Amino acid sequence: MASENSDYSPDKAFRPRRAPGRERFDRATVHAILDDGYVAHAGFQGAQGPEIIPVFYVREGERVLIHLSAKAGLSIALKRGEAVTLAVTHLDGLILARSAFHHSMNYRSVIIHGAAVELTGEEKADALDLMVERVEEGRSARARRANAQEMKATAVFAVPLEQVAAKLRSGGPKDDPEDMALPVWAGTIPLELIRGKPLRDISVDAEGVLSD
């Protein structure tokens, strides 16, 4: 098993080329960004041309798991061997600079390129349990497991973390020296996704049990 301190080595074609210095290839950074997210945007070659759709995902070791309708265009494309690109992005802040040109954003992102492998049988069922656990720890032991019809209607794929790279920006505005004296406010507006207080469904009679 690869160490968290080791680096990925994506092919040159899959390495970030813009804004040198923002790219990261170490596993610890890539894993942390993926583990902070829930939604990836999947790009693929569909029947009518290029398509992109949002998908729920979870990282399992050195692969990312996604689930879809078995009849979805992405499922059909992956089953016929089409490559997929997964993009995960966290927006951490808005950068207000003194010049319009230097306005920016703080972000953490990971791009994954690869061929997906469809999971079946117990491996598929275990992957779906893992996805439920990603929503709420311990939930897979309490919720009803998917039945045969639901399993048939669902496709689960694994995308390996091989052709993968992270890219991120942090810090404040990077204004030109000649603009520093302009009477314009400059700085950062932080943004974050937070987990709010659970709202009980009206059809639930008893208080449920949620982890902290």
Could you give the C-alpha distances from 76 to 64, 170, 194, in angstroms and in order? Answer: 18, 39, 34
Please report the pLDDT score of residue 12 as a whole number: 86
Q: Has residue 209 got a pLDDT over 60?
A: no
pLDDT in tens, 153-192: 999 999 999 999 999 999 999 999 999 999 999 999 999 9
pLDDT of res. 212: 52
Structure tokens at 100: 């319009």
What's the confidence (pLDDT) of residue 15? 87
- Look-up: residue for tokens 């992957």? 127
Amino acid 207: pLDDT = 60
pLDDT tens across 103-155, in order? Answer: 999 999 999 999 999 999 999 999 999 999 999 999 999 999 999 999 999 99
Which pLDDT belongs to residue 22? Answer: 85
CB-facing half-sphere around the CA of 113: CA atoms within 13 A: 12
Angle at CA 154, nearest 5°, toward 150 and 159? 150
**C-alpha separations of 177 from 101, 174, 181 in Å:** 14, 9, 8
Tens digits of per-residue pLDDT, 48-89? 899 999 999 999 999 999 999 999 999 999 999 999 999 999
**Element housing 210 (H / E):** none
pLDDT band, residue 14 (cuts 50/70/90) = confident
Residue 206 is predicted with a pLDDT of 58
Residue 48's φ and ψ, nearest 5 degrees, are: -105, 5
Confidence of residue 4 (pLDDT cuts 50, 70, 90): low
Residue 44: its pLDDT value, please?
A: 96
At residue 1, the pLDDT reads: 59
* DSSP conformation class of 17: -
Domains, in order of start, for the chain: 18-94+103-174 (2.30.110.10)
Distance CA 24, CA 112 (A): 13
State mean pLDDT over 85-110.
98
User: Per-residue pLDDT averaged across 32-58, rounded?
Assistant: 95
